[in-house]
Amino acid sequence: MADLTEDLAGLVDSIVRPLVDEPDALEVASVEAEDGGMVIEIRVAEGDAGKVIGRQGRVIKAIRTLARAAASRSGKMVDVELID
């Protein structure tokens, strides 16, 4: 399970890092959810939040879709959240 957590966090990190202007401020962490799933939390610099969200939320939706697809083999539920 730790491997899956690290892999998903790494996947999200590798997707988000090229999008932001301040990659040093990027933090990607995974947290166990109460329902047994996991939450991948993304923290970016204030000016980069809009780039991660994208127009009408398209970029963050795509990131969530990729993370869920990667986790589907293990049967684990995953959610991706952008933390202010």
For residue 83, list its beta bridge partners.
Answer: 43
Tens of pLDDT along 9-31?
999 999 999 999 999 999 999 99
Residue 23: other Cβ atoms inside 10 A: 14
Q: Whole-prediction pTM value?
A: 0.90
Average pLDDT (33-61) is 93
Give the C-alpha separation, 64 to 52, whole Å: 11
Q: Which domain holds residue 58?
A: 2-83
- The domain tally of the chain equals 1
- What was the pLDDT predicted at 60? 97
- What was the pLDDT predicted at 13? 95
Residue 77 belongs to domain with CATH number: 3.30.300.20
